Structure 1
Amino acid sequence: MRNSILIVLTLFSAITLTAQSEESEIRAALQEYVDGSSYNNPEQITSVFYEEADLFLSKRDEELWVLSPEEYANLFKKREKGKFNGRIGKILKVDQANNIATAKVEISIPAENLLFIDLFLLKKLEGKWKIISKAATAIDP
């Protein structure tokens, strides 16, 4: 009986540590996106996206603005690489099941009085968490 309890506790601990590790990896991928978009680094932005991902974004006077990761990253090319551009990202929530995850990230740009909520769909591909889709909406701050 005592050995059975020990085995169950060991398995539970291993599962908990694996789940925490996966969430850390997901958060690290999201932080790469946040940092890349906050510091004008197109390569850093595209590195966390699956190359065929679609980004469904908000744009004035357009109901739906769809970009590829490359097109989105190109929006940051004209700015000085490595210089903070005022975008502040905060990971609000991560939910993971096996090799897929969803995440909610708040992006604020205080100088322009802008606030966005980004929803991400991620999948673990070849051992790395990649963003396979992103949808964003503008919120009145």
Structure 2
Amino acid sequence: MKTQFLTITLLFLSLSLSAQSEEEEIKQTLQNYIDGSSYNNQELIQSAFYKGADLFLSKKDQELWVLSPEEYANLFKNREQGKFNGRVGKILNVDYANNIASAKAEILIPKQNLKFIDIFLLKKLDGKWKIISKAATLITE
């Protein structure tokens, strides 16, 4: 009886650790995007995305602004890489099942009094979590 209990306990512990690991991997992908866009690191930004991803963004006087990961990363190319640019990102939540996930993040740019909410879709591809789609909205309060 003790052996069965121990086996079941180890199984649940293993599953729990695996679940934490998946969530941490998802958060690391999101953090790569956040850090890349906060420190003008184009490679780090692109590493978070699936190459064929679409980013649906907010832009003044434009209802929908669609960019590829490369086009988005290029927005940071004329800034000093590694220097903090004032963007502060925070992961608000992550939800996943098997090899798909959704996540929400808040992006603040205090100097410009801007607040964005980003919604992400992610998929585990070749053993790595990648953002396959991102939508952002500017919050005006």
Tell me if both proteins adopt one fold, taking TM over 0.5 as the criterion: yes
Structure 1: how far apart are the matches of 2:16 and 2:68? Answer: 35
Structure 2: how far apart are the matches of 1:9 and 1:63? Answer: 53
Matched-pair identity in %: 70
User: How far off its partner does 1:106 sit?
Assistant: 0.4
Question: How is 1:8-87 mapped onto 2 (pairs within 5 angstroms)?
Answer: 8-87=8-87
Aligned length: 141
Q: Please, what is the CA RMSD of the aligned residues?
A: 0.9
User: How far off its partner does 1:58 sit?
Assistant: 0.5
Render the CA deviation track for 1:78-114: whole Å, top value 9, x for unaligned: 1111111100000110111111111101000000000
User: How far off its partner does 1:77 sit?
Assistant: 0.4
TM-score under structure 1 length normalisation: 0.97
User: How far off its partner does 1:10 sit?
Assistant: 1.1
Structure 1: how far apart are the matches of 2:140 and 2:86? Answer: 17
In structure 1, the partner of 2:134 is: 134
Mean Cα deviation higher: 4-13 or 22-31? 4-13
Render the CA deviation track for 1:23-71: whole Å, top value 9, x for unaligned: 1111111111100000011111011100000000011111111100000
In the TM superposition, structure 1's runs of 4+ consecutive aligned residues that sit over 6 Å from their partners are none
SS of match in other structure, 2:13: helix
Structure 1: how far apart are the matches of 2:100 and 2:43? Answer: 23
Structure 1: how far apart are the matches of 2:88 and 2:137? Answer: 15
Structure 1: how far apart are the matches of 2:140 and 2:50? Answer: 30
Unaligned runs of 5+ in 2: none
